[in-house]
């Protein structure tokens, strides 16, 4: 097993909880000088998650869904 899916789910939820129900441009330092667009939120998620995934696993890409038809991909 490269990574336990429950551990990954926990890490993902930790990052989402940081953003959930927040005024990103005011409450999250990362977005004070950066527009909180879908693209930038996807990059933020990448930057946070890439540091918590243990080797030899690695983060390949992030897909952030805005609507059922619109999403943002980020590959670091």
Residue 1, pLDDT > 80, answer no
Q: Is residue 75 part of a domain?
A: no
Cβ(20)–Cβ(26) below 8 Å: no
Q: What is the pLDDT of residue 12?
A: 93
In a domain, 71, yes or no: no
Q: How many helices (H) does the chain have, and how many strands (E)?
A: 3, 2
Which structural domain range is residue 15 located in? 5-64
For position 44, which CATH number holds? 3.30.479.10
Q: How many domains does the chain have?
A: 1
Please report, for residues 7, 12, 18, 50, 71, the alpha-carbon distance to residue 15 in angstroms, rounded to integers and kept in the order given: 13, 5, 5, 11, 18
Residue 74 lies in a domain: no
Distance CA 9, CA 69 (A): 24
Query: pLDDT digit string (tens) for 20-76?
Result: 999 999 999 999 999 999 999 999 999 999 998 888 888 999 999 999 999 999 998
pLDDT (0 to 100) of residue 48: 95
């Amino acid at each position: 097993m490269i990574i336990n899916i429950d551990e990954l789910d926990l890490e993902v939820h930790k990052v989402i909880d940081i953003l959930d129900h927040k005024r990103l441009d005011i409450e999250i330092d990362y977005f004070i000088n950066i527009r909180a667009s879908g693209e930038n939120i996807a990059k933020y998620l990448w930057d946070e998650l890439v540091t918590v995934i243990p080797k030899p696993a690695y983060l390949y890409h992030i897909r952030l869904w805005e609507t059922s038809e619109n999403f943002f991909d980020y590959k670091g």
